[in-house]
Amino acid sequence: MPNFEYQGKHVEFAGTYTGSYDCINQGKFYEQAFLEYVRSLKLGGTYLDIGTNIGNHALYFAMFCDTQKVIGFEPMTSWRERALANLRANGMEAKVDVAPFGLSDRREQIRFNPYGTEYLLQCLPLDAYLPDLTGVTFVKMDIEGSEPKALLGGRELFRRNRPVIFAEGLGDPAPLFQAAELIGYRHTGKTMGGKSSPMYELLPA
């Protein structure tokens, strides 16, 4: 179980980590530079972690940002279970909810093939799940190409809350920017992360 000290707090991760997550073994959060930038924004309220995976980002948001609540979305059962274990290891399970489905612009099943095994993932629109939620100030969205559909499915939530959004754009980012424009957002020109998985900052137009 990797554990380390960060910003005066003890952090623990359940299980073992390899590949992109090997940085955890070295005492760092995955995408730590991006997370530290989010922290520097000093946004309170509720954060949405769309594509929670193992809970790396949700844990950071809960422990080190000015959050009152974090709501995650992770349809892959094994990843969601690991995220919940990591939250429990740090006493953050009451502050973070992780919904067991993905987001899209409609209720549908999406085929996902991450490691040679195909999964059918249940997805629904953000507006259908959280039709009245207020106080959302930040959204991180990393869902392997489904970001444009998820933006459109949360049109009313984004209109009502006007949060800062960082969304991944795999390959050509044009569909992401077009969806952002349809919900009243624009790309600011700021991009975080590497060339293979850039995260684009989207703000209200």
Angle at 39 between CA 100 and CA 188, to 5 degrees: 90
Residue 114 vs residue 61, higher pLDDT = 61
Which residues neighbour 3 within 8 Å (Cβ) at sequence distance 6 or greater? 10, 11, 12, 13
Q: Residues 20-79: pLDDT tens digits?
A: 999 999 999 999 999 999 999 999 999 999 999 999 999 999 999 999 999 999 999 999
Domains contained in the chain, CATH given: 29-100+126-204 (3.40.50.150)
Question: Over the chain, what is the mean pLDDT?
Answer: 96
Residues forming beta bridges with residue 139, ordered by sequence position: 48, 165
Q: What angle do CA 97, 98, 102 make, to 5 degrees?
A: 140
Would the pLDDT of 121 be above 90? Answer: yes
Q: How confident is the model at residue 193 (pLDDT cuts 50, 70, 90)?
A: confident
Decide: 66 and 95 in contact? Cβ < 8 Å: no
Average pLDDT for residues 79-92, to the nearest whole number?
Answer: 98
More confidently predicted of 195 and 155:
155
Q: What is the rounded average pLDDT of the residues 13-23?
A: 96
pLDDT at position 161, please?
98
**What's the rounded mean pLDDT across residues 121-141?**
98
Q: What is the pLDDT of residue 97?
A: 98
pLDDT above 70 as % of the chain = 100
Residue 197 pLDDT? 86
Burial of 42 (0-12, 13-18, 19+ CB in 10 A): exposed
pLDDT of residue 114: 83
- 102-104: strand order across its sheet: 102-104, 119-125, 108-112
